[in-house]
Chains A and B, each alone.
Chain A
Amino acid sequence: MRRVVITGAGTVNPLGQTVSETLDALAVGRVAIGPLDLADARLSTRIGAAVRGFDPSDRLSARQMAVADRFSQFALIAAAEAVAAAGPGALPPGAGVILGSAGGGLASSEAAYRAVFAEGAARVHPFTLPRLMANAATSLVSMAHGLRGPSFTLSTACAASNHAIGLAFQMVRSGAAPAMLAGGSEAMLTFGGLKVWEGLRVLSDTGCRPFSADRDGLVMGEGAGVFVLEERDRALARGAPILAEVAGFGMSADAGDIVAPDPEGAAAAIRAALADAGLAPGAVGYINAHGTGTLLNDRSESAAIRAVFGEDAAAIPVSSTKGLHGHLIGAAGAVELLAVILALGQGVIAPSGAGHVRDPDCGLDIVAGRARQASVRAALSNAFAFGGLNAVLALRAA
């Protein structure tokens, strides 16, 4: 069977607007959560992880700027970095792109609704539809890089990036495509985007502290992560840099509750990823957890990890970098894959956040406060979506 490697990465996220900036920030555990500029008396949310100082006008054409919502702009910038890093010939004819997004062009939708419903406008901007459609980022990336192979957007909330990367992995492994771009993008720090999360009462006012006994919810972020996945032999033949090997992918559905997670569903996806990769549980040296910092996720995810790894669970370093960059929703798994690449490539496990109070209900070895040095040969990256849709990636060092 073909082996699949990652030969390029690109990102825009609250920690940095390039991969190197992001890896540096992860390695020192920099927290990018802070006060939001979005001021509205009807918003009780005051903090978030925004991409500050984002100005793509020097990197995107006037035409791209006109038709691309913020979530598509993130994807275009991240994809360009990934393609450049992978080097010439990374994406031959037949290559495509799969991106995840939960909200699509939310800012564009909201602007249009505000105009026609609140302000009584008779018409909306003619680009409103191409800006807001969830597949816009995928389409614009395919256009930018001439990708004519299998390309689509998938939307599985907080698991969308992992589903996208996992499907791209399966397509390259099966021979359906010689190489793929995959990842996700999200720009949900809008009035409506924040309001709907506020309504669920799961946002923190104080910061995101995954698995910490004093956690009190998630903090929303935004951004994108995009990767070049290609067949290993091909990558070796063209002398491409290899960041990591995608070794396996596991999916499951809880078929339970629309928001509350089920440890059984999460455990099934973890087991499936291990089996697909041919990895023994004892070989896993790091787990990048979904770790949202909510009571329900962190307890359920801890239970799932304990169920799969048994007594060995407490010996596996676990972190959720959402404590640093917030929850990027449909882009979460993509940006968190950078933390996995950091662990596999440089032996540095990024911390979950600044502080940590041990939670006996979780019972895991949580890396927090500062990064930890460790030799990691294989790692997992978890993503568990609202609606009970689970996607776990298994990776090996290059």
Chain B
Amino acid sequence: MTTEADVIAILARQSGVCADRIGPATEVAALGLDSLGLVETVFALEERFGVSIPFNANTDPGDRDFDLRTVAGIVAGLEALKARPAAA
């Protein structure tokens, strides 16, 4: 599976929105995840890709080091993290 397909699968599982209705431009806020759902999504992404995502639930989505606003943003962020030396 591609990174994008994995991300979409995780978002679909967390949100209950059908995967074929989620694409690169889909906004995460539109999927109806609550704050706990977003935290669990980040955890699922970290576990799937073996990375640590910089994410603090207290900062606004636009201010974050890791762009969680869209599927494409998440994919780009993950690719950048995977290109770095492995972190804990």
Contact = CB atoms under 8 A, between A and B. Distances in A.
Interface of A: 41-42, 44, 199-205, 215-217, 257-260, 293-296
Contact of B58 (A41, A258, A294): A294
A354 to B, nearest CB: 18
A296 to B, nearest CB: 7
Nearest to B59: A216
B11 to A, nearest CB: 17
Contact of B56 (A41, A216, A259): A216
B39 interface: yes
Nearest to B60: A295
B86 interface: no
Interface residues of B, number: 13
A205 B56 CA distance: 9
Nearest to B42: A201
B88 interface: yes
Given A199-B43, A217-B58, A258 B36 contact: yes
B49 to A, nearest CB: 17
B34 A295 contact: no
A297 to B, nearest CB: 9
Interface in B19-76: 34-36, 39, 42-43, 52, 55-59
Given A203-B56, A259-B36, A295-B57, 15 more contacts: A41-B88, A44-B52, A199-B39, A200-B39, A201-B56, A204-B56, A216-B58, A217-B58, A258-B36, A259-B35, A260-B35, A294-B57, A294-B58, A295-B59, A296-B35
7 contacts: A44-B52, A201-B39, A205-B56, A215-B58, A216-B58, A217-B57, A257-B36
Contacts of B56: 201-205, 216-217
The 8 closest A-B pairs by CB, nearest first: A201-B57, A217-B58, A295-B58, A216-B58, A201-B39, A294-B58, A202-B57, A41-B88
Contact of A200 (B34, B52, B57, B88): B57
B84 to A, nearest CB: 16
Nearest to A294: B58
Given A41-B88, A42-B88, A44-B52, A260 B58 contact: no
Contacts of B58: 202, 204, 215-217, 293-296
Contacts of A257: 34, 36
A258 B40 CA distance: 14
Given A257-B36, A258-B36, A260-B36, A201 B55 contact: yes
A294 B35 CA distance: 12
A215 B43 CA distance: 23
A128 B47 CA distance: 33
A215 B59 CA distance: 8
A332 B87 CA distance: 34
A115 to B, nearest CB: 24
Contacts of A204: 56, 58
Contacts of B57: 200-202, 217, 294-296
A157 to B, nearest CB: 15
A293 B34 CA distance: 19
Contacts of B59: 216, 295
B17 to A, nearest CB: 20
B56 to A, nearest CB: 6
B19 to A, nearest CB: 25
A199 B53 CA distance: 12
Contacts of B52: 44
Nearest to B38: A201
A257 B43 CA distance: 20
Nearest to B55: A201
A41 B86 CA distance: 13
Nearest to B39: A201
B66 to A, nearest CB: 11
Contacts of B39: 199-201
Contacts of B55: 201
Nearest to A42: B88
A35 B42 CA distance: 26
B61 to A, nearest CB: 11
Contacts of B42: 201
A82 to B, nearest CB: 35
Given A201-B39, A202-B58, A215-B58, A260 B34 contact: yes
A202 B39 CA distance: 10
B39 to A, nearest CB: 5
B30 to A, nearest CB: 19
